[in-house]
């Protein structure tokens, strides 16, 4: 009987939550909500959303409509929903450094940020986050005060950079990280506690991506990093990043953000030559392809690929995807060795996905 009850409950869509009420959002301006909160000694809860944001819609439909969530927010906050591309949302996005959707803010009656968190989540985590933010001594408020007061202790700054990224305040995070990087000695930069500035982690796309100062420093000082962070860890990161440079160059992403400068690719090759990476010869060839892509010389790209693709490791053979993507967009010239590239991949690869793609381009 218990199983039958739970199954019927699931079919009704209740899933253990009553959904008869919803968070009540104010109809007026943000300023009027702030005034109302100040008069009632409450905080303002702000749901920062956009019309196109799917996770935002999930929160509105499935979390804000749970009775326990609705009752908690309606009792404790003045609630405001802001479309960040319209009306009050546009200046609020700049003021509160909203960089992802949904973002959730807790403001005091003066409009000062008390707490901030980002992303869709279940009801339990959502309530937990908000309760944490209701404490005037919550982590975000405390760290903001300490930083504004001049705290530059290295352990604190490392945590602060990470917290800024967690809140998707990317530009402030980058600025603080750059200042922190410049404050470190060469010996300090290579220590494990600072590996988050250079290594593969949830912060890397903001702190050490392609064309970044941090990746360049890692590639130029890899021996010192190996001593403190391990050979396998450092070499894997470097190999992945050089592959990413080549990948971005061939599929066009690199040159959408950065203009082609030949000296950059000469520099990458010099860095690669100085490494002990097992597949550095293949990576150098891929960098030659990247340089040729920057020059829009797809014949040269295809010739390098045709000459060497059969000898590439399975990981490096994936550069063919970027070649097909980039050339497919350009279509500037007929490439006589396209069939040869495909045939060599089909003959040497064990990856069914790249083989099936190669067959598509066999007679391109």
pLDDT by residue (tens digit) across 36-72?
Answer: 999 999 999 999 999 999 999 999 999 999 999 999 9
pLDDT exceeds 60 at position 285? yes
* Spatial CA neighbour of 117 closest among 65, 164, 155: 164
C-alpha distance from residue 341 to each of 20, 227, 298, 309, 334 (Å):
61, 40, 13, 7, 14
* Spatial CA neighbour of 177 closest among 160, 193, 191, 202: 160
CB 127 within 8 A of CB 81: no
Q: What is the pLDDT of residue 363?
A: 75
What CA–CA distance (Å, rounded) separates 216 from 3?
A: 59
Of residues 330 and 101, more confidence is placed in: 101
Q: Beta partners for 156?
A: none
What CA–CA distance (Å, rounded) separates 252 from 321?
A: 12
Task: Name the average pLDDT for the chain.
Answer: 93
Backbone angles phi, psi at 83, to 5 degrees: -75, 115
User: Percent of the chain, pLDDT > 70?
Assistant: 93
Question: Residue 17's pLDDT band (boundaries 50, 70, 90)?
Answer: low
Q: What is the pLDDT of residue 35?
A: 97
State the average pLDDT over residues 64-92. Answer: 96
Of residues 334 and 312, more confidence is placed in: 312
pLDDT by residue (tens digit) across 176-221?
Answer: 999 999 999 999 999 999 999 999 999 999 999 999 999 999 999 9
- Class of residue 215 by CB neighbours under 10 A (exposed 0-12, middle 13-18, buried 19+): buried
Least confident of 135-139, 177-181, 259-263: 135-139
Q: What is the pLDDT of residue 329?
A: 65
As given in the structure block, the two tokens for residue 336 are: 């006589």
Q: What is the pLDDT of residue 331?
A: 61
Strand, coil or helix: 254: helix
* Spatial CA neighbour of 46 closest among 75, 69, 80, 74: 80
161 φ/ψ sector (left φ>0, alpha ψ -120 to 50, else beta): alpha
Helix (H) or strand (E) holding 49: strand 43-49
What CA–CA distance (Å, rounded) separates 158 from 178?
A: 12
Q: What is the pLDDT of residue 362?
A: 77
Instruction: Give the global pTM.
Output: 0.85
State the average pLDDT over residues 328-352. Answer: 87
pLDDT exceeds 90 at position 270? yes
Q: What is the pLDDT of residue 323?
A: 95
Longest dimension (CA), the chain: 75
Q: What is the pLDDT of residue 328?
A: 76
């Amino acid at each position: 009987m218990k199983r039958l009850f739970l199954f019927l409950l699931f079919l009704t869509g209740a899933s253990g939550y009553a959904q008869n009420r919803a968070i009540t959002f104010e109809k007026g301006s943000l300023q009027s909500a702030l005034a109302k909160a100040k008069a009632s000694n409450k905080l303002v809860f702000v749901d920062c959303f956009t019309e196109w944001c799917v996770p935002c819609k999930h929160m509105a439909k499935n979390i804000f409509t749970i009775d326990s969530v609705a009752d908690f927010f309606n009792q404790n906050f003045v609630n405001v929903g802001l479309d960040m591309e319209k009306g009050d949302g546009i200046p609020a996005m700049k003021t509160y450094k909203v960089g992802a959707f949904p973002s959730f803010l807790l403001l005091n009656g003066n409009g000062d940020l008390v707490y901030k968190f980002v992303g869709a989540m279940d009801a339990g985590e959502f309530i937990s986050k908000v309760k944490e933010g209701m404490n005037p001594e919550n982590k975000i408020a405390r760290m903001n005060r300490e930083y504004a007061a001049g705290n530059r202790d290295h352990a604190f700054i490392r945590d602060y950079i990470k917290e800024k990224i967690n809140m998707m305040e990317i530009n402030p995070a980058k600025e603080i990280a750059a200042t922190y990087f410049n404050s470190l000695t060469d010996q300090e930069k290579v220590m494990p506690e600072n590996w988050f500035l250079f290594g593969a982690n949830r912060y890397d796309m903001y702190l050490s991506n392609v064309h970044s100062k941090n990746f360049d420093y890692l590639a130029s000082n890899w021996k010192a990093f190996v001593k403190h962070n391990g050979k396998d860890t450092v070499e894997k990161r470097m190999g992945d990043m050089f592959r990413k440079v080549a990948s971005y160059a061939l599929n066009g992403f690199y040159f959408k953000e950065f203009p082609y400068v030949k000296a950059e690719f000469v520099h990458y090759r010099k860095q690669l030559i100085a490494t002990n990476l097992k597949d550095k010869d293949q990576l150098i060839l891929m960098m030659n392809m990247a340089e040729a892509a920057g020059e829009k010389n797809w014949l040269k790209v295809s010739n390098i690929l045709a000459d060497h693709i059969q000898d590439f490791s399975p990981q490096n053979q994936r550069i063919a995807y970027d070649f097909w993507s980039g050339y497919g967009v350009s279509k500037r010239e007929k490439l006589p060795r396209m069939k040869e590239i495909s045939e060599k991949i089909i003959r040497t690869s064990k990856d069914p996905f790249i083989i099936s793609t190669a067959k598509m381009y066999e007679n391109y």
